[in-house]
Amino acid sequence: MAVLVVALTVFVLVLPHSVVLPVFSLWALSAAVCAALLAVVPLRTKPSYAGAAWDMAGAFTLVGCAAAILGEIEPIIETIRPLEPRSKMND
Amino acid sequence: MTDLSMLPQGAITAVLQVIMIDLVLAGDNAVVIGLAAAGLPPAQRNRAILVGIIAATVLRLAFAAIAVELLAIVGLLLAGGILLLWVCWKMWRELRGPSAEDTEAALLKHDAHVPRKTFAQAAWQIVIADISMSLDNVLAVAGAARDHPYALIFGLGLSIVLMGVAATFIARLLNKHRWIAYLGLAIILYVAIEMIWRGFWEIEPHVFA
């Protein structure tokens, strides 16, 4: 929970407001994948660690999906779009 | 390995756009599939998730093929939103009822009065929700990748993987911590209300003209 709040606060402070939620969503989904890897990779000594890691993976996924749904797509699309003219200028 | 510099810049941009759109739009499908599958016994959960992913994929392909015709239909978004609202109501009623574990325990005690969520019920809920959400998804992705069919195919593949993995994680979590399902339901309710809101403003000029 604290990790999510800290990450969201950092994104709010660093990024333009329009892309905070999509970037937070990407971060949360990546964190979910990392948590799932921790659960399946046999580094743990107790099975309860795997259970906790799966719970974290689920929680990060749910938060990531919620952030993606609540965020707007258009600012991200607009952020990606300027790549096109810039590369043409370089050519 | 594919040399990315050989790809036209427009195609790379389209792929990036499709990745972002799919991340945003596959999320609601993943939550609804996870919610519906979480009420099932473990043996049927993976089957329900598979049904949900197959249904979403087939629907997206079908809707993508007729995207232009769909755009012309007034009130489709409103109908999709209402359909999703109905799915929310069904899920709310299930959440208020006994959990899968309670049902299993009651069945072991031969208590016939405890309702049990069936695989068919979960599959039906997932398919109905997929119809509503895939409509929204296809129209958005088709707009971004109109001139780049490879981007569209890539986006479809990505959303299948994303839905499968995310729905499995969510179903696993909701089965263990049932109260979190209310949060998932709130997310789907938000999507339904947003679709109804946008759908209303779409039909408003036609109704009140």
* Cβ contact B88:B184 at 8 Å: no
- Among B176, B184, B187, the residue with its CB nearest the CB of A55 is B176
H or E element in which residue A72 lies: none
Number of domains within chain B: 1
Give the domain range for residue B17: 8-207
In a domain, B139, yes or no: yes
* Residue B1, in any domain of the structure: no
Q: Which residue stretches of chain B have pLDDT < 50? A: 1-4, 112, 114
Q: What pTM does this model have?
A: 0.74
Is B101 within the bounds of a domain? yes
Q: Is residue B70 part of a domain?
A: yes
In a domain, B2, yes or no: no
CA distance B106 to B172: 22
Distance of CA B172 to the CA centre of its chain: 17
Give domain status of residue B50, yes or no. yes
Lowest-confidence region among A46-50, A84-88, B128-132: A84-88
Across the interface, do A68 and B184 touch by the CB < 8 Å criterion?
no
B133 touches chain A (CB under 8 A): no
The verdict on residue B12 lying in a domain is yes
Query: Does ipTM come in above 0.85?
Result: no
What was the pLDDT predicted at B114?
47
Residue B3 belongs to a domain: no
Q: What average pLDDT score do residues A59-79 get?
A: 78
Type of residue at B80: G
Residues of chain A in Cβ contact (below 8 Å) with chain B: 22, 25-26, 29, 32-33, 36, 54-55, 57-59, 61-62, 64-66, 68-71, 73, 76-77, 80-81, 83-84, 87-88
Given pLDDT bands bounded at 50, 70 and 90, which one contains residue A77? low
Q: Of B49, B55, B76, B60, nearest to B167 (Cα)?
A: B49
